[in-house]
Homo-oligomer: A and B are copies of this chain.
């Protein structure tokens, strides 16, 4: 009995290792520098081996895509403990930034490229469950904020879109290396993290002012 289970576990471990390597390569080399051969080299296996665990390159990308959303939701999980919705909202932003900053390659894959979307768009809605969950969490939190007097008169869905746009913009500018090239940031030696923190703080202040 144990044998079968161990095999299954080994198999899963190998899949994970492959995905982890791909993940790592995204980080180092960027989305289109990734190749089956690259991954194979990284895990020190032959390219053919990859195909024992994934049907094709697409399936790898797909898996990373889904794993990415799961991971994002994991970053959101601890936020439930914040009872004040506005507090929670602000923490969500921080968690999102943390996720993007720590997993730039996967973030790129999830939100900054159109290629994966073309494949994924054929999929069942089911595939989007994790992605939906994340967004719904945001919408709910916004709605709760409104019931406490924030963002009065604004549509919660649209306002959530706005928030997401901002935070995605900030994260993606960082990942695409544009953050450090803005006039002002370029000259002074401010760290990228500081820029993000400052910008996010500004956004938070603005949100705060939208109360009442």
Q: Which residues of A contact B (CB under 8 A)?
A: 30, 32, 111-115, 117-118, 120-121, 125, 128, 131-132, 135-136, 151, 153-155, 157-159, 161-162, 164-170, 172-173, 175-178, 181-184, 186, 195, 198-199, 201-203, 205-206, 209-210
Chain B residues, Cβ within 8 Å of A195? 161
Number of copies: 4
Do A178 and B117 have beta carbons less than 8 Å apart?
yes
Do A117 and B165 have beta carbons less than 8 Å apart?
no
Shortest distance between the CB of A37 and any CB in chain B (Å): 12
Known: A30-B114, A210-B209, A210-B210. A165 touches B154 (CB 8 A): no
Task: Give the complex CA separation of A64 and B118 in angstroms.
Answer: 25
Q: Can you list the 4 inter-chain pairs with the closest CB atoms, starting with the nearest?
A: A169-B169, A165-B169, A117-B177, A132-B183
Task: Give the complex CA separation of A44 and B76 in angstroms.
Answer: 45
Do B205 and A184 have beta carbons less than 8 Å apart?
no
Do A176 and B111 have beta carbons less than 8 Å apart?
yes
User: Can you report 7 residue pairs joining A to B where beta carbons are below 8 Å apart?
Assistant: A112-B176, A117-B177, A135-B183, A165-B169, A166-B166, A206-B206, A210-B210
Task: Give the complex CA separation of A115 and B112 in angstroms.
Answer: 14
Chain B residues, Cβ within 8 Å of A161? 182, 195, 198-199, 202
Task: Give the complex CA separation of A210 and B206 in angstroms.
Answer: 7
